[in-house]
C-alpha cells in the first residue's frame, strides 16, 4: 500500500458516498480519485483499469454537467429507470467492449489479468454512464462489478483498494435502496 493508494481510496469512498446522497460534489472529488488511481493501476499492470480511469475522468465531467445543468428547457437530471431494452443494449455494449479490450490487452501487453480486467472495464463504462444519467440500474451493475473487483485487487495485493471496493459494494447496495425510494423516480 502506498500513500497515493490510501489518498485515492479515501477520495473514492467520499465520492461514492456523495453519489448515493445525490450530491453533485461527488463528481469533482471522483475526478481527483480517478486521476490518482490511474497511476496506482499502472504500477499494478492493470492496464485496462488504468485506461478506464482516463475514461472515468471524462465521465466525471459529463456526470457533473448532467447533474448540475438546470435551464429553462430542462431541470437538472432526476433519478429514473431504464427500460428493459435499454438495459439489454447497455449490457451488450459492455460485453463487446470487454471482448475488444481483453483481446487487445492479452495480445499486445503484459497485463496481469487481461480478460478479467477488460470485463470489469467494459461493464464499468456502462455503469458509469448510467450513473451520470441517474439511472437506478447503475447500482445493481455496480454491486456485481465491485464484488468482482474485490477478488481481482486481493489477487493483485492491492489490499486497501480491495477493501475500498468491498465498501463500494456495500455503498452500491445502499445507493440502490435510496435511489429506488427517491420520490422523483420516473420511468424512462
The answer to whether 75 and 142 have CB atoms below 8 angstroms apart is no
Half-sphere exposure of 98 (CA within 13 A, CB side): 19
Give the Cα separation of 164 and 111 in Å (integer). Answer: 22
Phi/psi at 76 (nearest 5 deg)?
-55, 150
Q: With the CA atoms of 106, 92, 165 and 144 taken in that order, what torsion angle do they form, in degrees rounded to the nearest 10?
A: -120
The answer to whether 124 and 41 have CB atoms below 8 angstroms apart is no
Task: Domain count for the chain, please give it.
Answer: 1
All three cell numbers of 14: 467520499
Q: Return the number of other C-beta atoms located less than 10 Å from residue 118's C-beta.
A: 26
Averaged pLDDT for residues 56-74? 79
Band the pLDDT of 182: cuts 50, 70, 90.
confident
The predicted pLDDT at position 90 comes to 98
pTM of the full structure = 0.85
75 secondary structure, DSSP code: P
Q: Which segments of the chain does DSSP mark as H helices, in order?
A: 3-20, 26-43, 47-68, 84-108, 114-132, 137-155, 159-181
The predicted pLDDT at position 70 comes to 66
Domain of residue 129 covers: 3-70+77-187
Percent of the residues in the chain that have a pLDDT greater than 70, as a whole number? 94
Q: Which one, of 137, 128, 147, lies nearest residue 180 by Cα?
A: 137
Averaged pLDDT for residues 152-169? 94
Amino acid at each position: 500500500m502506498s500513500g497515493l493508494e490510501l489518498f485515492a481510496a479515501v477520495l473514492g469512498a467520499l465520492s461514492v458516498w456523495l453519489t448515493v446522497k445525490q450530491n453533485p460534489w461527488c463528481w469533482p472529488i471522483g475526478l481527483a480519485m480517478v486521476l490518482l488511481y490511474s497511476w496506482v493501476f499502472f504500477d499494478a499492470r492493470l492496464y485496462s483499469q488504468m485506461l478506464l480511469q482516463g475514461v472515468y475522468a471524462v465521465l466525471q465531467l459529463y456526470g457533473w454537467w448532467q447533474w448540475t445543468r438546470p435551464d429553462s428547457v430542462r431541470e437538472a437530471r432526476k433519478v429514473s429507470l431504464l427500460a428493459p431494452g435499454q438495459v439489454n443494449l447497455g449490457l451488450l455494449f459492455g460485453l463487446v467492449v470487454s471482448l475488444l479490450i481483453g483481446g487487445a490487452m492479452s495480445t499486445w501487453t503484459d497485463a496481469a489479468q487481461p480478460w478479467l480486467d477488460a470485463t470489469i472495464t467494459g461493464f464499468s463504462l456502462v455503469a458509469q454512464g448510467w450513473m451520470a444519467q441517474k439511472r437506478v440500474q447503475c447500482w445493481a451493475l455496480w454491486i456485481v462489478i465491485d464484488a468482482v473487483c474485490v477478488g481481482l485487487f486481493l489477487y493483485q495485493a492491492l489490499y486497501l483498494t480491495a477493501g475500498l471496493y468491498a465498501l463500494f459494494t456495500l455503498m452500491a447496495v445502499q445507493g440502490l435502496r435510496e435511489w429506488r425510494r427517491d420520490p422523483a423516480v420516473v420511468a424512462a
